[in-house]
């Protein structure tokens, strides 16, 4: 048997905007607005209006999650649902009631709440009026919103997280045009990266003040998608490209969150290129003094890179990928539906990196899973036979366990996701859930993986 630590958390992850639907929301987020303006940009024209109907179904959804062995659920509070006036911070009482009821329902069903404060879903008013995360004023508004959440729900929530995958905000909104506002502006992305780190630190500072005042034992962290870059060869130029890619994709958020500083080599490259973010000594001190208690790691696929085919010294607009080209390793195992390589060994490498370079901070796998399209083709006797998902989870857990045995301080594994959920521009193209959602009827049933995960959770391990 492969056994995990006694306090290991077996969970699942989702988010408010991907599960709840827009029922009774006082504000739009950037995705609500984008779908209203251009529904054709979304797969099959399916937007976030209904999502997985969690807003109406949570009282039956949560017990079904418990049946799948989920003992902890990471979801998010929607800023656009909880706060009526996003500039003054006035709360919406319907939103407060909804999240109170959801948290109570989780606890009643033996599921520990892990609550994230931002999952890409900035209220669109803050983008329209202040240019969103380009504005340091918005970082203050975020910290005030976070503090409101601590005050309202902190008595029952012991696990808080500031952001989910802040790097995706850069990639989607400012670099590669897959999230609204679909801009391509490398220097703006650099400033947004800094501001997101600043916003997280400001929220952590608010949390610590709340925690001290209330003598709470709660913790706060952040959720980062880590994709360490492997060089195509051991030649110096490929290694140099991989070093930059790792600094940009991982360390730009990991280092400030855990160590309180930005990577010096990355800062020098950005400064030499004339795109370094604007900062103040006071802000940098605030980031240094407000590091996280715990780290959540989302992992799906590795990154492989090689030296750029065009020199970054060429006359061109600044983008982070001028320093490397992507590399496709021959013979790689792929999730063809998603276009991602499957390489579980990276999870071991992440474990050792956290152990050796980040003070062995307490951490957990906050997302890991396999999305497959047209999953109904695997239906048999009314149950999705998703052996591919079981194998994916099993193989990653083998590598995670190896890292734990080597001393890495990992205390949980959260699969993405509990119930098939809406996924931004891709809508329901790929399904990730342990539980199937027929979006036409909102009928939800356990897949084969849901039954397997229940046994995994109950046994705190599995046969190798």
pLDDT, tens only, 341-358:
999 999 999 999 999 999
Summarize the confidence of residues 322-348 as an average pLDDT. 97
Summarize the confidence of residues 43-49 as an average pLDDT. 97
Summarize the confidence of residues 166-173 as an average pLDDT. 98
Q: What b/e string do you get for 381-410 counting C-beta neighbours within 10 Å, with b at 16 or more?
A: eeebbbebbbebbbbbbbbbbbbbeeebbb
**Residue 464: pLDDT band with limits 50, 70, 90:** confident
Of the candidates 10, 20, 46, 130, the residue with the CA atom closest to the CA atom of residue 400: 10
List C-alpha distances in Å: 338 to 355, 398, 432, 444. Answer: 30, 23, 11, 23
Contact between residue 447 and residue 434 where contact means Cβ atoms under 8 Å apart = yes
Q: What percent of the chain has pLDDT over 90?
A: 100
**pLDDT value at position 143?**
98
Burial class (CB in 10 A: 0-12, 13-18, 19+), 249: buried
The 10s digit of each residue's pLDDT in 391-447 is 999 999 999 999 999 999 999 999 999 999 999 999 999 999 999 999 999 999 999
Q: What b/e string do you get for 222-239 counting C-beta neighbours within 10 Å, with b at 16 or more?
A: bbbbbbbbbbbeeeeebe
With residues binned 3-state (H G I as helix, E B as strand, rest as coil), the percentages for the chain, rounded to 5, are 45, 20, 35
The 10s digit of each residue's pLDDT in 181-236 is 999 999 999 999 999 999 999 999 999 999 999 999 999 999 999 999 999 999 99
Summarize the confidence of residues 350-376 as an average pLDDT. 98
Supply the mean pLDDT for the chain.
Answer: 98
Residues with a catalytic annotation lie at 165, 367
**pLDDT value at position 37?**
97
The rounded distance, in Å, linking the Cα atoms of 222 and 235 is 34
* 269 pLDDT higher than 90: yes
Domains of the chain with bracketed CATH: 2-462 (3.20.20.80)
Instruction: Look up the pTM and report it.
Output: 0.98
The rounded distance, in Å, linking the Cα atoms of 74 and 323 is 35
The rounded distance, in Å, linking the Cα atoms of 367 and 369 is 7
Q: Which residue has the tokens 């276009």?
A: 339
């Amino acid at each position: 048997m492969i056994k995990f630590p006694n306090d290991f958390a077996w969970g699942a992850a989702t988010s408010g905007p991907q599960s709840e639907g827009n029922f009774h929301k006082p504000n739009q987020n950037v995705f609500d607005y984008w779908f209203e303006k251009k529904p054709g940009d979304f797969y099959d024209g399916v937007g976030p209006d209904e999502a997985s109907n969690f807003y109406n179904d949570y009282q039956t959804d949560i017990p079904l999650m418990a049946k799948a062995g989920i003992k902890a659920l990471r979801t998010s509070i929607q800023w656009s649902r909880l706060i009526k006036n996003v500039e003054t911070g006035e709360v919406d009482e319907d939103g407060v009631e909804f999240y109170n009821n959801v948290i109570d329902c989780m606890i009643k069903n033996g599921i520990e709440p892990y609550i994230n404060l931002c999952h890409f879903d900035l209220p669109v008013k803050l983008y329209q009026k202040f240019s969103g995360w380009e504005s340091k004023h918005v970082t203050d508004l975020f910290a005030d919103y976070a503090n409101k959440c601590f005050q309202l729900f902190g008595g029952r929530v012991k696990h808080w997280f500031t952001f989910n995958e802040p790097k995706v905000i850069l990639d989607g909104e400012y670099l590669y045009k897959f999230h609204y506002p679909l801009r391509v502006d490398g220097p703006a992305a650099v400033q947004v990266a800094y501001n997101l780190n600043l916003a997280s630190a400001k929220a952590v500072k608010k949390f610590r003040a709340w925690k001290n005042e209330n003598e709470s034992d709660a913790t706060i962290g952040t959720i980062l998608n880590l994709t360490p870059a492997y060089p195509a060869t051991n030649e110096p130029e490929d290694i140099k490209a991989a070093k930059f890619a790792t600094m940009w994709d991982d360390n730009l958020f990991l280092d400030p969150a855990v160590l309180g500083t930005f990577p010096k080599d990355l800062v020098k490259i950005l400064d030499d290129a004339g795109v370094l973010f604007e900062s103040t000594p006071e802000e940098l001190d605030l980031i240094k003094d407000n590091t996280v208690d715990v780290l959540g790691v989302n992992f799906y696929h590795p990154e492989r890179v090689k030296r750029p085919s065009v020199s970054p010294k060429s006359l061109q607009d600044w983008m982070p990928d001028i320093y490397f080209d992507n590399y496709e390793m021959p013979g790689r195992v792929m999730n063809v539906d998603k276009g991602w390589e499957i390489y579980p060994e990276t999870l071991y490498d992440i474990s050792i990196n956290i152990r050796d370079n980040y003070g062995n901070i307490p951490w957990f796998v906050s997302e890991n899973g396999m999305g497959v399209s047209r999953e109904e083709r695997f239906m048999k006797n009314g149950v999705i036979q998703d052996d591919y998902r079981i194998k994916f989870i099993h193989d990653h857990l083998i590598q995670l366990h190896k890292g734990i045995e080597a001393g890495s301080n990992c205390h949980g594994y959260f699969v993405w996701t509990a119930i098939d959920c809406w996924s931004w521009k891709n809508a329901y193209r790929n399904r990730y859930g342990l539980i199937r959602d027929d979006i036409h009827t909102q009928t939800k049933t356990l897949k084969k993986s849901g039954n397997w995960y229940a046994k995994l959770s109950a046994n705190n391990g599995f046969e190798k």
